[in-house]
Amino acid sequence: MTIFQINDVKKTFKNREIKEQVLKGINLTLKEGQITALIGASGSGKSTMLTIAAGLQRATEGRIYFQGINLSEMNQEQIRKIRAKQFGFIFQSSHLVPFLSVEDQLTLMLEISEVRLKKQEQRNEVEKLLKLVDMYHRKDAFPSSLSGGERQRVAVARALIHKPKMLFADEPTASLDSRRSIDIMNLIKDLTKTMKITTLMVTHDEEMLLYADNIVTMRDGLIK
């Protein structure tokens, strides 16, 4: 079943007098529960496409449908709500909050997403997910005392704690060595399959393509 659809999306950036069309009419359909990998040379527009799909920036033209709703027609506040409740994000670096413990990173995300749970239920949910990413024993640790791989495991948990429908990941393994990359991709795959989350992932790592249900290549602002 189609859950997400990108229709003829174009994006032009204007720097001073120079206009650059980075996306020239992208069409892409994502099926519920599948992992789609977006690949292509550096500068081909992958991150631009991902951030537009995720509602972090707007397309110049075109339409984006999430569960049949046209996000391109929504105002900023409506998009913010959908992003907070229905979307999860993982980036190349973990972007954890330096002054929060591992446990509090996840609790904060539950609050931002307005998942209304009693304190005890909140703790249970956080515990359950931290155990799944094998980080519960580090729940009181701060990001500075974690390794890169551990930080990214926490970032995966934080991206999924509010049970989003969509996961957007921009080179989630790019800062990790091969063994830790495989570890993170196994986690992403296991958790998104169990939770029936649909994933759009930018990667330039060939090894990561083994985890994708679909592979889409971008070239010069188009899908080839």
Q: Report in angstroms how near the CB of residue 68 gets to Mg ion at its nearest.
A: 29
Stretch in the footprint of ligand ADP (CB under 6 A) among 42-50, 104-112, 158-166, 182-190: 42-50
Q: Report in angstroms how near the CB of residue 51 gets to ligand ADP at its nearest.
A: 8
The burial of 130, by beta-carbon neighbours within 10 Å (0-12 exposed, 13-18 middle, 19 or more buried), is given as buried
- Asked if residue 46 binds ligand ADP (CB under 6 A), the reply is yes
- Asked if residue 47 binds ligand ADP (CB under 6 A), the reply is yes
- Specify the residue, 46 or 158, whose C-beta has the smaller distance to ligand ADP: 46
Binding mask 14-33 for ligand ADP (x = CB under 6 A): -x------x-----------
Cα–Cα distance between 166 and 42 in angstroms, integer? 24
- Per DSSP (E only), the strands in 32-137 are 35-39, 61-66, 69-70, 87-90
Token pair, residue 178, equals 């091969």
Q: Which residues of 74-104 are buried (b: 16+ CB within 10 A; e: fewer)?
A: beeeebeebbeebbbbbbbebebeeeebbbe
Residues that bind Mg ion (CB under 5 A): 47
Interface positions with ligand ADP (CB under 6 A): 13, 15, 22, 40, 42-48
